Amino acid sequence: MCGRYTLTVDASVLATLFDIEPLMEIEPRYNIAPSQLVPIVRANPQGEREWAMVRWGLIPSWAKDAKIGNRLINARAETAAEKPSFRSAYKRRRCLLPADGFYEWVTFERGKRPSYIRFSDGRPFSFAGLWESWAPPEGETVESCTILTTHPNSLISELHDRMPVILPPDRFEDWISQGPLSPEGAEAMLLPFPPDEMEAVPVSTLVNSPKNDDPRCVEPVGSQGTPDFD
């Protein structure tokens, strides 16, 4: 799964990656957590790329309560096209979520130790996501999103049995196009990203609390074999 991630690069870097006008000034985020607002890139009705700030944790259009989004922060790539919570968004509302790293936890006798996974050169990338619009009985419409996950590559498999889908830039347009995806096209995109350019770094348990959102969250500590619990 993907339950926390980071986005710390400058807005101009993201504009280049996604070939879009820069997002308004954004603060570096070192511990993005579910239910928080996150930036996405999607196609507008004219088919042009646009930014949007949406809630992380997808709320289906038919939901009676927004709390369901707390359980829908991830969607399995293998079944999202059929699941009632995701199938409508999968057909028409796919999106990109910019990031430059994410966290996974390994269980030890004394507890769980987080690791920070990123590209070795620190470059930003994009998760494959879905977005949805929900109109509550009262109040304003809420837009929300989820991150697709797949089986892990050889690096992530030592940490977890799932990993987020990371799309290469040459797949961005195919993913956010507003038409339905063929099963063959989806299968070609929703694969584990090769591990060669990635690394996993043990980090502090400070990241366990979403209240902590600063550079200390990504600072290396100890090692996977001999965790240095705080």
Asked if the model's pLDDT at residue 228 lies above 60, the reply is: no
Tokens of 199: 């690394």
Where are the domains positioned within the chain?
A: 5-218
The whole-number pLDDT of residue 26 equals: 82
Structure tokens at 172: 């961005």
What is the percent of the chain where pLDDT is above 90?
A: 84
Residues identified as active-site: 2, 104
Q: Per-residue pLDDT tens for 11-51?
A: 999 999 999 998 767 899 999 999 999 999 999 999 999 99
Query: Which pLDDT band holds residue 158 (cuts at 50, 70, 90)?
Result: very high
Burial of 228 (0-12, 13-18, 19+ CB in 10 A): exposed
In the predicted structure, residue 1 carries a pLDDT above the cut 80 = no
Distances (CA, A) of 144 to 36, 68, 183: 10, 11, 25
Q: Which CATH number fits the domain 5-218, given the four candidates 3.90.950.10, 3.40.190.10, 1.10.150.240, 3.90.1680.10? A: 3.90.1680.10
The pLDDT score that the predictor gives to residue 229 is 43
Helices (H), the chain: 11-18, 87-92, 172-176, 183-189
Judge whether residue 110 has pLDDT over 80.
no
How confident is the model at residue 227, as a pLDDT? 43
pLDDT higher than 70, residue 199: yes
- C-alpha distance across the termini of the chain, in Å: 24
**What is the pTM assigned to this prediction?**
0.94
Per-residue pLDDT at 225 exceeds 60:
no
pLDDT value at residue 111: 80
